[in-house]
Structure 1
Amino acid sequence: MIESPGLLLTLLAFVLVIGPLVFVHEMGHYLAARWFGVKADAFSIGFGREIAGWTDRRGTRWKLGWMPLGGYVRFAGDMNAVSQPSAEWLALPEEERNQTFQAKPVWQRAIIVAAGPVVNFLLAMLILGGFAMAYGDTRTPPVVGTVLENSAAARAGLQPGDRIVRLGDRDIHVFEDMLSYTRIHPAEKTTVAFERNGQVQTLPVTIGVDQQTDRFGNNYRIGMLGIARGDRVTVPVSLFEAPVVAVRRTGEIVSMMVETIGQIITGRRSVKELGGPLSIAKVSGEQITLGADAFVFLIALVSINLGFINLLPVPMLDGGHLLFYAIEAVRRKPVGPEVQEWAFRGGLAAILGLMLLVTFNDLGNFGLWQSLASLIG
């Protein structure tokens, strides 16, 4: 039976995921700017018309926009899209001009811009570290317990007791490393290196495909070798070990994201798997019905996603700004405003195009196009 969290719960869950993460991201920018003496004119959660807000004693307008799909901090002196000095900026009184973003050296501007994504990663690490302390760290040895009949592992010749040491280009240290690799490589031909009787052998293997459907009716195509582990080994994690485990898990998630994007770019994975805000809303509603643990873990994943995407070197994103600051540091002078303006226009067009694509995919996943086709037919 397919379970649905309902529209209201889905919307609430989406706001509870996106709202705090956008706030944390923008707060990273804001606090770094405050540290370097940059005045903020506005701090907004959401875009569009203001529905609520107040002005603090520093003159910063804190507000909520009616469209809760992002946010921004507008710093003093932000008079153009590329945040470069202009005649209007030069006309400001010196004391006021010194509190603007443009007046700061390039390294300070870079820190202010990078602070948003960095805080997203730190929040995710805090959550993952907390989970590690609460539930321990799974470190099951990558030893084959049993081999399923007619599975990819059986066809490759793996046997119980074999210790997997490498899959494709990935070193395998624990059983979970093998699971994370196979999940995102369904039907791919690769090699498996394993230790048997003290000897390391390498065999070709074609990872199997498993079509799964969850309780919400979502279909997944994942890879699997067809190996069952032995006894699961979970070790307790102390307060001092938690940051190390959190950094490692965050790195694994980012690595999986990079690899998945690479598969889409090279055509090994369909672009239809790219999702947008509607997909996030749907998953948020589903995860909140599964309990607090699942929902908080989703927040960590989305926070990593938000930090990672914002660091991509695309104009309009934080990574695009950092790219220009890196060029400025090397050239010892900023990139011309005309070049930046055209780059930002191109970046905006790319982002809008991507948003259209993922929205199209989301609507398709919700069955809209199939319903329309049946009506027309």
Structure 2
Amino acid sequence: MRAGCWRLSDPMQMPFALTAVLAFVLVLGPLVVLHELGHYLAGRLFGVRADAFSVGFGKELWGRTDKRGTRWKLSAIPLGGYVQFAGDMNAAGQADPALQGVDAQALKGTFPGARLWQRAIIVFAGPFANFLIAVAIFAAFAMAYGVRVTPPVIGGFAPQSAAQAAGLQVGDRITAIDGDRVDDFTQIARKVLLYPGKTITIAAERQGKPIVLPVTLASQVEKDGFGGSATKGMLGIASVKPELKPVGFGEALGVGVSDSVAAIKMTAIGLGQIITGDRSTKEMGGPVKIAQYSGQTMSLGWAAMVLFAATISINLAFINLLPIPVLDGGHLAMYAAEAVRRKPLDARSQEWAFRAGLAFVLALVLFVTFNDLASLSGIGS
């Protein structure tokens, strides 16, 4: 058992477990509902009827039907929700095979009856809604607190610093890493954290003169306090004192977009490293780990929790765009195939793709949940 891990059997830790569950619901639930609202609003824009919009899953606790025929309801399991369009066989968006071969007039107002580009926009609108949520949160924090501006100047070194060993000195201003321009100290972290052990090329200015040095990044295993760990690349440098710069709406919006795009890039790179074997699959987390982090950030206050929600929203957008059937990205991949073939996949092919995608997603959920539980119990430590 790793020190610091909590066990569900430990009564002293039960308050945190309850807090984690509550925080998990408060963070993930609204983000999924807003994701589905993105689908709904895009569908409504193109005249596609929604049979149901549910906040939560399972048994209906309360509901009403609006004048458009949409059943709005609250359901028993408060873990997100779903929208089911006319013509969908189920809440997962699987097309009703009974509509195969039906004429265009009968399909009017249904999801299968929408044009291909309209269906693609409706599907994309869900992940895009999650992206916009993250942009709004990051922009709001920039407006409220200002933007921390830290010049990329070395203010000090950590013990056994890779940068110092390579010949960099206090006062050097880093101008580029591997040819990519660096304007702020935060950009340095994005260039090194995901690349432990990699040799990078750093361009810098020293007393007005340019220098270029190769630096082999150190590897550091950081534990998260819940039994999990991640290997990070480290330069071993400290920044000079940062300044808080007030920003207006336009600049804050730009910060929100750039921070959200940077988060997506980091997520994509990390996943790619796991797929290629450059990073351990043990670093993948699932629902249990998200609940743990949710509980931890909730204890730090509302600001930390809202910023954590922005990170989860970005991850929801990214994961849903993966080309896996049953996910939004899988639907978009099938629409791309339909555009190339100039006709949709037959019902049997769609059914098999849906089953394969569902099996893959379930297997992945089981795998990451096992990872979470293993880190809790100290398996493999």
Name the TM-score, length of structure 2 as normaliser.
0.88
Q: Are 1:276 and 1:358, in contact at CA under 8 Å, matched by a contact in 2?
A: yes
In the alignment, the residues of structure 1 paired with residue 266 and residue 100 of structure 2 have an alpha-carbon distance, to the nearest angstrom, of: 44
Match of 2:127 among 95, 117, 132: 117
Give the aligned partner of residue 374 of structure 1: none
In the alignment, the residues of structure 2 paired with residue 76 and residue 54 of structure 1 have an alpha-carbon distance, to the nearest angstrom, of: 17
1:8 equivalenced with 2:18 (yes/no): yes
Q: Are 1:53 and 1:61, in contact at CA under 8 Å, matched by a contact in 2?
A: yes
In the alignment, the residues of structure 2 paired with residue 85 and residue 219 of structure 1 have an alpha-carbon distance, to the nearest angstrom, of: 44
1:56 equivalenced with 2:46 (yes/no): no
Give the aligned partner of residue 152 of structure 2: 142
Mark the CA change 1:217 to 1:92 in structure 2 (over 3 Å): closer, same or farther.
same
SS in 1 for 2:215: strand
Q: How many pairs align? A: 370
Give the aligned partner of residue 97 of structure 1: 107
Amino acid at match of 2:55: I
Amino acid at match of 2:23: A
1:167 equivalenced with 2:157 (yes/no): no
Amino acid at match of 2:339: A
Q: Are 2:142 and 2:255, in contact at CA under 8 Å, matched by a contact in 1?
A: yes
SS in 2 for 1:309: helix
SS in 2 for 1:57: coil
Give the aligned partner of residue 73 of structure 1: 83
Give the aligned partner of residue 9 of structure 2: none
Amino acid at match of 1:251: V
Q: How does 1:198-347 map to 2 (within 5 A)?
A: 198-212=208-222, 219=229, 221-347=231-357
SS in 1 for 2:359: helix
Q: Are 1:314 and 1:347, in contact at CA under 8 Å, matched by a contact in 2?
A: yes
In the alignment, the residues of structure 2 paired with residue 238 and residue 216 of structure 1 have an alpha-carbon distance, to the nearest angstrom, of: 39
Match of 1:179 among 167, 177, 189: 189
Report how far residue 339 of structure 1 moved: 2.3
SS in 1 for 2:19: helix
1:354 equivalenced with 2:364 (yes/no): yes
Name the TM-score, length of structure 1 as normaliser.
0.89
Report how far residue 316 of structure 1 moved: 1.0
Q: Are 1:82 and 1:340, in contact at CA under 8 Å, matched by a contact in 2?
A: no
Report how far residue 70 of structure 1 moved: 4.3
Match of 1:30 among 27, 30, 40: 40
In the alignment, the residues of structure 1 paired with residue 181 and residue 345 of structure 2 have an alpha-carbon distance, to the nearest angstrom, of: 42
RMSD value over aligned CA atoms?
Answer: 2.7
Report how far residue 33 of structure 1 moved: 1.0
Mark the CA change 1:93 to 1:267 in structure 2 (over 3 Å): closer, same or farther.
closer
**What is the CA deviation profile of residues 309-367 of structure 1, one whole-angstrom value per residue up to 9, with x for unaligned ones?**
11111111111111222232333322233222222222112111111110110111211
Q: Are 1:23 and 1:71, in contact at CA under 8 Å, matched by a contact in 2?
A: yes
Report how far residue 77 of structure 1 moved: 1.7
**What is the CA deviation profile of residues 91-142 of structure 1, one whole-angstrom value per residue up to 9, with x for unaligned ones?**
6994x63111111111111111111111111111110000111121223111
Q: Are 1:22 and 1:45, in contact at CA under 8 Å, matched by a contact in 2?
A: no
In the alignment, the residues of structure 1 paired with residue 360 and residue 228 of structure 2 have an alpha-carbon distance, to the nearest angstrom, of: 29
Report how far residue 206 of structure 1 moved: 2.0
Report how far residue 82 of structure 1 moved: 7.1
Q: Are 1:189 and 1:204, in contact at CA under 8 Å, matched by a contact in 2?
A: yes
Report how far residue 302 of structure 1 moved: 0.5
Mark the CA change 1:201 to 1:162 in structure 2 (over 3 Å): closer, same or farther.
same
Report how far residue 189 of structure 1 moved: 3.0
Q: Are 2:39 and 2:123, in contact at CA under 8 Å, matched by a contact in 1?
A: yes
SS in 2 for 1:12: helix
Mark the CA change 1:216 to 1:290 in structure 2 (over 3 Å): closer, same or farther.
farther
Q: Which stretches in structure 1 are left out of the alignment for 5+ residues?
A: 372-377
Mark the CA change 1:91 to 1:324 in structure 2 (over 3 Å): closer, same or farther.
closer
In the alignment, the residues of structure 2 paired with residue 328 and residue 85 of structure 1 have an alpha-carbon distance, to the nearest angstrom, of: 17
In the alignment, the residues of structure 2 paired with residue 93 and residue 192 of structure 1 have an alpha-carbon distance, to the nearest angstrom, of: 60
SS in 1 for 2:249: coil
In the alignment, the residues of structure 2 paired with residue 82 and residue 69 of structure 1 have an alpha-carbon distance, to the nearest angstrom, of: 18
In the alignment, the residues of structure 2 paired with residue 209 and residue 75 of structure 1 have an alpha-carbon distance, to the nearest angstrom, of: 49
In the alignment, the residues of structure 2 paired with residue 336 and residue 194 of structure 1 have an alpha-carbon distance, to the nearest angstrom, of: 58
Report how far residue 233 of structure 1 moved: 2.9
